[in-house]
Amino acid sequence: IFRPSQALSKVGPSAITRMTAATAELKRQGRQIASMHLGEPDFRTPENIVEAAIRAMRAGDTHYTALDGTPEIKSAVQEKFSRENGIYFDNDQIVVSSGAKMLLFSAFFATLNPGDEVIIPAPYWVSYADIVEMMGARAVVLPTHAQDGFKLQAEDLERAITPNTRWLLINSPSNPSGALYRRADYERILEVIERHPHVWFMIDDMYEHIIFQDEPFVTPAQLRPDLQGRILTINGVSKAYAMTGWRIGYAGGPAPLMKAIKAVLSQSTSCPCSIAQAAAAEALRGPQDAVRRYLAEYRARRDLVMTELSHCAGLKATEPDGTFYAFVDWNALFGRSTPKGETVTDDEDLCRYLLQDCGVSTVPGLAFGTQGFFRISFASTEAELRLGMARIREGCAALI
Ligand code: PLP
């Protein structure tokens, strides 16, 4: 009999994995599904980055590297933090690993004990709460609200902190809400963090380059260098450079924490892929025009999706300030019936209906800790988005 570990007992396949499997099954049966559930850029990795990988392979860079990254990628990360964020990290304050997710996992593995608490504002990226629970710690989920732009309020944070709080984890711009924390938002939160020296602040800047505002992106470590000793800044190349499959993420933080993260990596992934590191160094150092091109494309798609949503009776969504997601409020349709006579009483019901009966894949809001919503991704072609949005519109109109 197969017996999973206790660590795994609380964690099932994520709603996104389930949606991906259900979508693949319908496609296998010959159904044409408009895919709006996936969180990855549909663009190809830019050619200069691919070339750098080929050069690395030909040059024989195909062996283990230093655990925390080659000197080349580490200095590219160091330059990136200094150039784009105004943060200076020493060599022993940077770790490059196999994806940002592995860094989140390692940071939690390195610091959490049973009974510890991690404060996570909802809606949140699906993996956060599951990783925390896998460590035997508790994810303290704090709901945020559309009227606050889905951003954590300092008073709510203050109330949630207990002697067991180890981390606050924020992702901006946010997957799935698209919320972008501005300087003033962070300043209020950092004041609370300052008052509670046992609380550390983990920040996931994965979508830094996908923001639609003109004002500059800000990250907490740059605002309060005096608190840098307990801030971990996580980022990666997956989304900005359409490099999800290369698996390179990086982080900057206090040296003792980075040393502990390296201890976790030394007994799990070892170094990240040597070839992908060379590619990521080119991504960070080379021309950035692809990033700007993708952004223009995402902006056009966001506008298309928001216009289409405004024609969908019963749905509403705040315009995302960043990322390639829209988080759609469907509460006005709650309790209605599908043409087949099935009552729609939760996010899974609605997303199942949209997939099975209407042919468009989305992700239930509850997967992100927030009921009454679903997430659509606009990281797909305009034609697919138009098709998907038309199906959502017709599907919602058919609910009675
Ligand atoms: N952080 C957020 C908010 C994400 O949405 C994702 C991917 O979906 C990641 C991290 C994972 O990044 P990586 O591909 O570097 O593991």
Q: Are 228 and 254 in contact (CB under 8 A)?
A: yes
C-alpha distances out from residue 149 to 12, 39, 324, Å = 30, 21, 16
pTM here? 0.96
| pLDDT at site 13 | 75
Q: Are 97 and 77 in contact (CB under 8 A)?
A: no
Evaluate whether residue 279 is within a structural domain.
yes
Q: Which of 239, 243, 265 to mutate to test the pocket of ligand 1 (most atoms within 8 A of CB)?
A: 239
Evaluate whether residue 390 is within a structural domain.
yes
244 pocket-lining for ligand 1 (C-beta < 6 Å):
yes
| pLDDT at site 3 | 87
Q: Are 258 and 271 in contact (CB under 8 A)?
A: no
Inter-axis angle of helices 100-111 and 127-134, nearest 10: 30
Inter-axis angle of helices 71-85 and 274-285, nearest 10: 30
Q: What is the CATH number of the domain that holds 135?
A: 3.40.640.10
Evaluate whether residue 305 is within a structural domain.
yes
Q: Are 358 and 395 in contact (CB under 8 A)?
A: yes
Same domain (yes/no): 361, 277? no
Q: How many Å apart are CA 366 and CA 351, to the nearest integer?
A: 11
Same domain (yes/no): 91, 124? yes
Same domain (yes/no): 256, 226? yes
Q: What is the CATH number of the domain that holds 370?
A: 3.90.1150.10
Domain end: 225, 260, 285, which one? 285
Same domain (yes/no): 352, 276? no
- Tell me, rounded to whole angstroms, the distance of Cα 39 from its chain centroid: 8
pLDDT digits (tens, 9 = 90+) for 217-232: 999 999 999 999 999 9
Domain end: 269, 285, 301, which one? 285
DSSP state of 173: S
Evaluate whether residue 366 is within a structural domain.
yes
Same domain (yes/no): 13, 75? no
The token duo for 140 is: 């303290």
| Three-state secondary structure call for residue 364 | strand
176 pocket-lining for ligand 1 (C-beta < 6 Å):
no
Evaluate whether residue 1 is within a structural domain.
no
Domain end: 263, 285, 307, which one? 285
Kindly report the protein residue whose alpha carbon is nearest to atom 1 of ligand 1. 206
365 pocket-lining for ligand 1 (C-beta < 6 Å):
no
Q: How many Å apart are CA 14 and CA 126, to the nearest integer?
A: 7
The closest alpha carbon to 296, from 234, 358, 382, belongs to: 382
pLDDT digits (tens, 9 = 90+) for 333-381: 999 999 999 999 999 999 999 999 999 999 999 999 999 999 999 999 9
Same domain (yes/no): 139, 262? yes
Helix locations, 323-381, DSSP H: 347-356
Same domain (yes/no): 385, 264? no
Same domain (yes/no): 35, 80? no
Same domain (yes/no): 254, 320? no
Evaluate whether residue 78 is within a structural domain.
yes
Query: What is the domain range of residue 369?
Result: 6-44+290-397
Low-confidence ranges of the chain (pLDDT < 50): none
Evaluate whether residue 272 is within a structural domain.
yes
Dihedral (CA of 225, 226, 229, 230) sign: negative
Beta bridge partners of 328: 317, 374
Evaluate whether residue 319 is within a structural domain.
yes
| pLDDT at site 40 | 87
Domain count for the chain, please give it. Answer: 2
